[in-house]
């Protein structure tokens, strides 16, 4: 499999330095991608770079993930209008361990082959630098004119920018260039990859290697992912879509991909899955014939959810998705963990009641009218029951005075009350 060809048809190449393809054809090559350890989880904005590393390893090359421990203490100006909050070492180390665990879903760090994935932290070599040694050994090789020519710098120094740029941030490209230089020397790393906004920083690294060592190194960037409607990819009303299930449940993760537009799904299925070209082309054609079936979105959501989480998490997410619209049962409802249950029924009106009352048993009419405001009156409750329109935990209720006990509770806490087809309330026992 040819790495460059693979990325080209998937629409994953923005810029590539001349000679890169020849280098990859010549020998097993080491390449790295930098990831900021600003949180203890990746989010889907990181996934394009991660997918590049997956393809790189699948093509027989060695992928390196560089955790920017030192650069996380500085901040990268690329694409940002303000400086970021800086982190302490203990937080950085914790974040690094969490990221490696997540990346193990995508990359093989344990392989006995020569192209086993590697994770490094630039803090490990940057901490040895003194300011004087840095400006002597690194700074002298690149002119201010060269550094000023980078778009990321120009943007922040332009008349339109009111924020300006600190010296700390101005030196960022030197720090990133030092990383490339170090990995070139330590791991024979000849290629750096990243988003298109990183081109300036990456080429600074190739230039530093050329001027200081007379070596050849290469750069490859992928396009920044956009949405067809102009909105920012990976952002929802709740913020980032995370890979940590504690921050974004697999259900919500699955839903994000399932709800992509037709145009975006056609683009994303090439970028975020490992499906073969022929299968993707067939899926796109099938989707065009029957877009209402949303085959593209379903396949995309399936592949990426299994890759990032597991097949079990995917199956749970599908089952949970059917809760609101399908023919779910009490058993399937009880199989949901609390997090998924709350994700599915987010925003549903919730009423708190005393759990001790349920332990003793309480008639449904009292529970939903007197102890909560699910119904304004017992008369309205009775009319709904008589019409066959009331379910508790997906089981139809025939008696408005049925005794409800703690045994009915989902996850020992919740009662799901369904009025008609789509109106829900939750009673929370505390």
pLDDT tens string 356-390: 999 989 999 999 999 999 999 999 999 999 999 99
Q: Which two tokens stand for residue 399?
A: 């008696």
Q: In this structure, are 258 and 383 located in the same domain?
A: no
Q: In this structure, are 119 and 147 located in the same domain?
A: yes
Asked whether residue 228 is domain-assigned, the answer is no
Q: In this structure, are 311 and 400 located in the same domain?
A: no
Q: In this structure, are 289 and 339 located in the same domain?
A: yes
Give the pLDDT of residue 81. Answer: 43
Per-residue pLDDT reduced to its tens digit, 203-250 = 999 999 999 999 999 999 999 998 888 877 876 667 789 999 999 999
Catalytic center residues: 38, 43, 46, 80, 84, 176, 197, 232, 235-236
Of 344, 371, 405, which closes a domain? 344
CATH code at position 9: 3.40.50.620
Using DSSP, state whether 415 is helix, strand or coil: strand
Half-sphere exposure in the Cβ direction for 123 (13 Å, CA) = 20
Question: Which residue(s) pair with 404 in the sheet?
Answer: 362
Per-residue pLDDT reduced to its tens digit, 73-109 = 665 555 454 445 567 788 888 999 999 999 999 999 9
Q: Looking at residues 147-160, what average pLDDT do you find?
A: 78
Of 344, 366, 394, which closes a domain? 344
Q: In this structure, are 102 and 205 located in the same domain?
A: yes
CATH code at position 392: 3.10.290.10
Q: In this structure, are 15 and 162 located in the same domain?
A: yes
CA distance 273 to 276: 9
Alpha-carbon torsion angle 339, 343, 349, 350, nearest 10 = 0
CA distance 54 to 77: 27
How many domains, in total, are found in the chain? Answer: 3
Asked whether residue 161 is domain-assigned, the answer is yes
Q: In this structure, are 215 and 264 located in the same domain?
A: no
Give the pLDDT of residue 335. Answer: 85
Q: In this structure, are 366 and 293 located in the same domain?
A: no
Query: Dihedrals φ, ψ of 419, to 5°?
Result: -110, 110
Range of the domain at 368: 350-429
Asked whether residue 229 is domain-assigned, the answer is no
Give the pLDDT of residue 64. Answer: 98
> Whole-prediction pTM value?
0.86
Give the pLDDT of residue 331. Answer: 86
Question: Does residue 140 or residue 279 have the better pLDDT?
Answer: 279
With contact defined as beta carbons under 8 Å apart, do 193 and 31 qualify?
yes
Asked whether residue 230 is domain-assigned, the answer is no
Give the pLDDT of residue 83. Answer: 47
CA distance 61 to 68: 22
Q: In this structure, are 339 and 206 located in the same domain?
A: no
Asked whether residue 149 is domain-assigned, the answer is yes
Q: In this structure, are 371 and 420 located in the same domain?
A: yes
CATH code at position 306: 1.10.240.10
Q: In this structure, are 267 and 366 located in the same domain?
A: no
Per-residue pLDDT reduced to its tens digit, 414-428 = 999 999 888 999 999
């Amino acid at each position: 499999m040819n790495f460059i060809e693979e990325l080209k048809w998937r629409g994953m190449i923005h810029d590539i330095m001349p000679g890169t393809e020849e280098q990859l054809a010549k020998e097993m090559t080491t390449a790295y991608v930098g990831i900021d350890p600003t949180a203890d989880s990746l989010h889907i904005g990181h996934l394009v770079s991660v997918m590049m590393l997956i393809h790189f390893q699948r093509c027989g090359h060695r992928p390196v993930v560089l955790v920017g421990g030192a650069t996380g203490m500085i901040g990268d100006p690329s694409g940002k209008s303000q400086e970021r909050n800086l982190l302490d070492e203990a937080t950085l180390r914790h974040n690094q361990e969490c990221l490696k665990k997540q990346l193990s879903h995508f990359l093989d760090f344990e392989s006995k082959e020569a192209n086993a994935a590697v994770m490094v932290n630039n803090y490990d070599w940057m901490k040895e630098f003194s300011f004087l040694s840095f400006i002597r050994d690194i700074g002298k090789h690149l002119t201010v004119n060269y550094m000023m020519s980078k778009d990321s710098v120009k943007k922040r120094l332009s008349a339109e920018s009111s924020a300006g740029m600190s010296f700390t941030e101005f030196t960022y490209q030197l720090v990133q260039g030092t990383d490339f230089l170090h990995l070139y020397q330590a791991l024979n790393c000849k290629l750096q990859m990243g988003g298109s906004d990183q081109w300036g920083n990456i080429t600074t690294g190739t230039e530093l290697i050329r001027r200081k060592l007379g070596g050849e190194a290469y750069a490859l960037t992928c396009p920044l992912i956009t949405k067809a409607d102009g909105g920012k990819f990976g952002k929802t009303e709740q913020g980032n879509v995370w890979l940590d299930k504690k921050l974004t449940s697999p259900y919500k993760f699955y839903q994000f991909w399932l709800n992509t537009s037709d145009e975006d799904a056609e683009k994303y299925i090439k970028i975020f899955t490992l499906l073969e070209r022929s299968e993707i082309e067939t899926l796109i054609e099938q989707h065009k014939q029957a877009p209402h079936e949303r085959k593209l979105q379903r396949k995309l959501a399936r592949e990426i959810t299994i890759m990032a989480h597991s097949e079990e998490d995917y199956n749970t997410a599908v089952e949970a998705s059917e809760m609101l619209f399908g023919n779910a049962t009490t058993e399937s409802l009880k199989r949901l963990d609390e997090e998924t249950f709350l994700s599915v029924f987010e925003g549903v009106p919730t009423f708190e009641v005393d759990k001790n009352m349920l332990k003793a048993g309480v008639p449904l009419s009292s529970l939903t009218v007197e102890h909560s405001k699910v119904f304004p009156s017992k008369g309205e409750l009775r009319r709904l029951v008589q019409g066959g329109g009331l379910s508790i935990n997906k089981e139809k209720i025939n008696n408005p005075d049925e005794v409800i006990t703690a045994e009915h509770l989902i996850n020992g806490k919740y009662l799901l009350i369904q009025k008609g087809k789509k109106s829900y309330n939750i009673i929370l026992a505390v």
